[in-house]
Amino acid sequence: MSQSLPHMSHPVQQLAAAADASEHRPLIITLFGLFVVATLFITVWAGRQTKSASDFYAGGRQFTGFQNGLAVSGDYMSAASFLGIAGAIALFGYDGFLYSIGFLVAWLVALLLVAEPLRNSGRYTMGDVLAYRMRQRPVRTAAGTSTIVVSIFYLLAQMAGAGVLVSLLLGITSDAGKIAIVALVGLLMIVYVTIGGMKGTTWVQMVKAVLLIAGTLLITFLILWKFSFNLSDLLGTAASNSGKGAAFLEPGLKYGATATSKLDFISLGIALVLGTAGLPHILIRFYTVPTAKAARKSVIWAIGIIGAFYLMTIVLGFGAAALLKPGDIIASNKAGNTAAPLAALEIGGGADSTGGAILLAVISAVAFATILAVVAGLTLASSSSFAHDIYANVIRKGEATEKEEVRAARWATVAIGIVSIALGALARDLNVAGLVALAFAVAASANLPTILYSLFWKRFTTQGALWSIYGGLASSVLLVLFSPVVSGKPTSMFPGVDFHFFPLENPGLISIPLGFLLGWLGTVLSKEEPDKGKYAELEVKSLTGTGAH
Amino acid sequence: MASDAPPPKGGTDTSPAQSTPDRSTTAQPTTAQFVEVQESAEFGELRRAYRSFAFPLTIAFIAWYLLYVLLSNYAGGFMGTKLFGNINVALILGLAQFVTTFLIAWFYARHASRKLDPKADVIKSRMEADA
């Protein structure tokens, strides 16, 4: 597939030409600049209203279900969904579409089992719910650790992706230029989160969701228009242009090669569908609305918005396949991440046209907005968890004042920002796709079992919680470390060495059942009795909202 | 596009003039009260109305999704069957996953507002009044 080195291709030159041409680059930079100025304005405005801990962590819990639904969508639809899925469809046809389905169906787990009970029984973090019935310090430490690990992996992927993408769109190829872009993204996210807190972050995510939907709608419409709104024609052209014929429209091009790759697909599918409801940056969004009913409405809106978006990725991806030469997509970016911007350039009239330049600039600005909104959400999730779970409840044993807690959260944001700038700069040339899949797998293996047992299983104990969090976390991280994602293949992070023994790229097939199993085993083997009173509190609160914050 | 106006000042429900205090300081029912409610028939009914809806439905949509994943993996011939034009079974089944997701979300929201919310609200308002 991607190993065959393609000839120098012309859309890359087109893209570079479009970006380099003196009249086009200013347009992209102007749109980036407008977005940055607008969001900084919102951030300062939100910052002036951020006083209490509840303002900082939960935006004052004043958002409506619809507003939060938009923000949830903005938090969830990362560059991986937007550029990654369109690219995967453009290169592998139908198999790219399989991602969209897993990412969407996953929301039903959040809707039916997690969002409302979490909103009713927690306060600021995922750890609030996990530690409710348990011994506080060990479970908070575990929940904080897993929150930070999941968020950092996810963050790293976004940062590195931002460097690659923005550099490409702006025609910056030097290492120093890429590092500067990563640093700029990191700096902006520190500013959004430290000043604007959850309120500022939520507004940035809402603006981004509107931009992303509007931009995608525009390109989708133009592509469909070109094919006279005949989806069958579009698919047919994509299939013949891809050089793979009917197979391009059938499952199997990416995952159907061997028995192992088929297992890998099952593993990925399970991780996607069970991971979403365990992602801390998504979970804390449910605290920004006043009630569980509003949390439910948020998820319903999010399902509508995200579903509509993923339906459009079909047109975007197959449209790119129909309009561009496959070799050109690969030459521009091996993973196909630039297929959507290239399609925008093409549908607007090509590299030399004003239309093409404008559409490319719009899509680039949307991609940039997407990355910024997602990294802000991730940073907030990890710094909240550090300040609330680890600093306030473990280090200070619940004695910290609200002010001290929020100050700790702001410092944690700066620290996490600096760490991710450094890691993002180091990882800028690595294959980062595995990191997002890993984040989903860790969330599904470590967080989801513990959340579900905590909410619904009377007997669940502290030991069970610790075993499922640490067991799920360790098994998923270790399996990835010894998988082809890290070593042993040309597409690995370290292609020069080979210490892999686990054949699958996604650990979910093993680590998710293991997380559930360990939670059960840790519970039945523990000597302590579960705290019946605390479970009564948690269960009644989670189903009725009595005494909810 | 990127020049979206910032949210109007004070114009929306997200901009209270003062910071909003958490309700953490309001009186909470005691643990004994929670235990009593948890063991009551009324709460048992709410729990049953929730679980008997959410749990089987979760198992059903995960099974339906896994069926789709397995068909994609191991039933390539069937998935590739063309229905009309270039539209094949795989595409229709994929779109069906979207449709069922939307339907289940709607179905749950309806069940929750009809069967769960009224029961939950009664218990909540009584407990908070007693606290």
pLDDT tens-digit map of A513-531: 999 999 999 999 999 999 9
Residue B108 domain boundaries: 29-130
Position B82 in a domain: yes
| CATH topology (fold) of A10-398+405-544 | Sodium/glucose cotransporter (1.20.1730)
Substitution target from B13, B14, B57, B110 for chain A, most A beta carbons within 10 A: B14
Closest residue on chain A to B7 (Cα): A42
The residue of chain B nearest to residue A539, with distances taken between CA atoms, is B38
B7 in reach of chain A (CB within 8 A): yes
CB pair distance less than 8 Å for B101 and A105: yes
| Residue A301 in contact with partner chain B when CB distance is under 8 A | no
In this complex, which of A98, A108, A299 lies closest to B61 when CB atoms are compared?
A108
A536 touches chain B (CB under 8 A): yes
Q: Does B28 touch chain A if contact means CB atoms closer than 8 Å?
A: yes
Contact between A428 and A179 (Cβ < 8 Å)? yes
Q: Is A192 at the interface with chain B, CB within 8 A?
A: no
Contacts of the segment A213-217: beta carbons below 8 A, 24+ positions apart: A213/A305, A213/A308, A213/A309, A214/B1, A215/A362, A215/A363, A215/A365, A215/A366, A215/B1, A216/A82, A216/A309, A216/A312, A216/A313, A216/A316, A216/A366, A217/A312
Q: What is the pLDDT of residue A178?
A: 81
Judged by a CB distance cut-off of 8 A, whether residue A233 touches chain B is yes
**B25 interfacial to chain A (CB closer than 8 Å):** no
On chain B, the residues whose CB falls within 8 A of the CB of A123 are 22, 24
B66/A101 Cβ within 8 A: no
Residues in chain A predicted with pLDDT less than 50, given as ranges, are 1-14, 16-22
- Domain boundaries, given as residue ranges, for chain A: 10-398+405-544
Chain B neighbors of A540, CB-CB under 8 A: 34, 37-38, 43, 123, 127
What's the pLDDT score for residue A20?
43
pLDDT of residue B26: 56
For the residues of A445-483, what is the DSSP string, one character each? IIIHHHHHHHHH-TT--HHHHHHHHHHHHHHHHHHHHTS
Radius of gyration of chain A (CA): 23
Predicted pLDDT at A22: 43
Q: Is residue B74 part of a domain?
A: yes
ipTM at complex level = 0.92
Whether B19 is in a domain gets the answer no
Under 8 Å CB pairs connecting chains A and B tally to 235
Of B1, B15, B38, the CB nearest to A211: B1
| Total number of domains constituting chain B | 1
Q: What is the tens place of the pLDDT at every residue in B99-109?
A: 999 999 999 99
Angstrom distance (rounded) from CA B75 to CA B79: 6
Query: Chain B contact for A249, CB < 8 A?
Result: yes
Share of chain B above pLDDT 90, in %: 74
Distance from CA of A536 to the nearest CA of B (A): 5
- Asked if the Cβ–Cβ distance from B65 to A101 is below 8 Å, we say yes
Q: Nearest by CB to A307, from B3, B66, B101: name it.
A: B101
Compute φ and ψ for B83, nearest 5 degrees: -95, -55
**Residue A250 is encoded by which pair of tokens?**
């059938």
Q: Structure pTM?
A: 0.91
Low-confidence ranges of chain B (pLDDT < 50): 1-24
CB-based contact B101 A547, cutoff 8 Å: no
Sort out which chain B residues have CB atoms less than 8 A from A365's CB and list them.
1-2
Among A45, A61, A265, select the one facing B20 at the smallest CB separation: A61
User: Cβ of A427 under 8 Å from any chain B Cβ?
Assistant: no
Chain A contact for B30 (CB, 8 A cutoff): no
Terminal-to-terminal C-alpha distance of chain A: 53
Yes or no, beta carbons of A55 and B19 under 8 Å apart = yes
pLDDT for the residue numbered A296: 98
Nearest CA in chain A to B108: A112
Distance of CA A7 to the CA centre of its chain: 33
User: Do B127 and A540 count as a contact with CB atoms less than 8 A apart?
Assistant: yes
* B4 is a domain residue: no
* Residue B3 is assigned to a structural domain of this protein: no
CA distance A505 to A486: 9
**Contact by Cβ (8 Å): A433, A448:** no
Measured at the CA of A406, the angle between CA A402 and CA A407, to 5 degrees, comes to 115
Is B18 part of the contact surface with chain A (CB cutoff 8 Å)? Answer: yes
Structural tokens at position A126: 């995922």
